[in-house]
Amino acid sequence: MEDRIIYPELNEYLRSQLPQHEGLLKELEEYAADPYVPIIQREVAQFLKVFFSYSSPKTILEVGTAIGYSAIYFSSLMGSGGKIVTIERDPEMIEKAMANIARAGFSDRITVVEGDAQNVLGTIDGPFDVVFLDAAKGQYGKFLPKCLDLLKTGGTLITDNILYRGIVASEELAPRKHITIARNLRNYIYEISHSARLDTTILPLGDGLGISRKLF
């Protein structure tokens, strides 16, 4: 499927300007490339590094751990005082994430919660400074009420892959098998853009990044 968010040549140029990661993060980036495991794109990682340097979150709830890449990256930005709770439903991913988190030396800073977010979000103790949604895109709307409950007033809801390669722009752009996801994402975008409780901006960065501040 063609990426219709930003011209590929511009994307490639901007990527070439990003700092390279070293050590475990670099190794995980290489691992994620083959076999393909979706992890946050490098421009999203760099944006969040700058954003966190201003907002200094101490607690992050992540939905969608995969191999633990973003949790390890965020934890390295937050330092030893930061705590992350991350939810994952795939047992194989959980095993890999736990091993990677242990290798990073962050087992005391990152808690992996096993289960479908829809079932386990209600069991988690908040509130958090940041909620990072990076799981099944078609389900974001279902997660939203619980995520907002778990977010501090003044905290930030960050939604990755919110533009889903640009197909949210119009139903004609969505291949048949992605129509439901595109519809669900459009409803989600409408909700976070029109909620009185949120101030939202959507950036055409990576696969699209939603940034919403909880007002009350």
Ligand X SMILES: C[S@@+](CC[C@H](N)C(=O)[O-])C[C@H]1O[C@@H](n2cnc3c(N)ncnc32)[C@H](O)[C@@H]1O
Write out 20-87 in H/E/C secondary structure.
CCCHHHHHHHHHHHCCCCCCCCHHHHHHHHHHHHHHCCCEEEEECCCCCHHHHHHHHHHCCCCEEEEE
The DSSP output letter for 129 is E
Tell whether residue 139 is a contact of ligand X (CB under 6 A): yes
In the complex, least distance from residue 209 CB atom to ligand X, rounded to whole angstroms: 12
What residue is closest to ligand X based on CB?
Answer: 64
Helices 140-149, 179-194: inter-axial angle, 10-degree rounding: 30
Paired residues of 85 in beta bridges: 61, 111
Number of H helices, E strands in the chain: 8, 7
In the complex, least distance from residue 215 CB atom to ligand X, rounded to whole angstroms: 26
Tell whether residue 178 is a contact of ligand X (CB under 6 A): no
Sequence-ordered list of residues with C-beta below 8 angstroms from that of 201, at least 6 positions apart, any chain = 210, 211, 212
SS3 of 160, please?
strand
The region of 16-24, 110-118, 182-190, 206-214 touching ligand X under the rule CB under 6 A is 110-118
x-or-dash pattern for ligand X, window 35-64, by CB under 6 A? ---xxx-----------------------x
Count the residues of the shown chain that bind ligand X, applying the rule CB under 6 A.
Answer: 19
Binding residue (CB under 6 A) for ligand X from 82, 84, 88, 156? 88
> Do residues 68 and 86 make contact, with C-beta atoms less than 8 angstroms apart?
yes
Tell whether residue 111 is a contact of ligand X (CB under 6 A): no
Binding residue (CB under 6 A) for ligand X from 61, 75, 89, 181? 89
In the complex, least distance from residue 93 CB atom to ligand X, rounded to whole angstroms: 5
Tell whether residue 117 is a contact of ligand X (CB under 6 A): yes
Residues in contact with ligand X by the rule CB under 6 A? 38-40, 64, 66, 69-70, 87-90, 93, 116-118, 134-136, 139
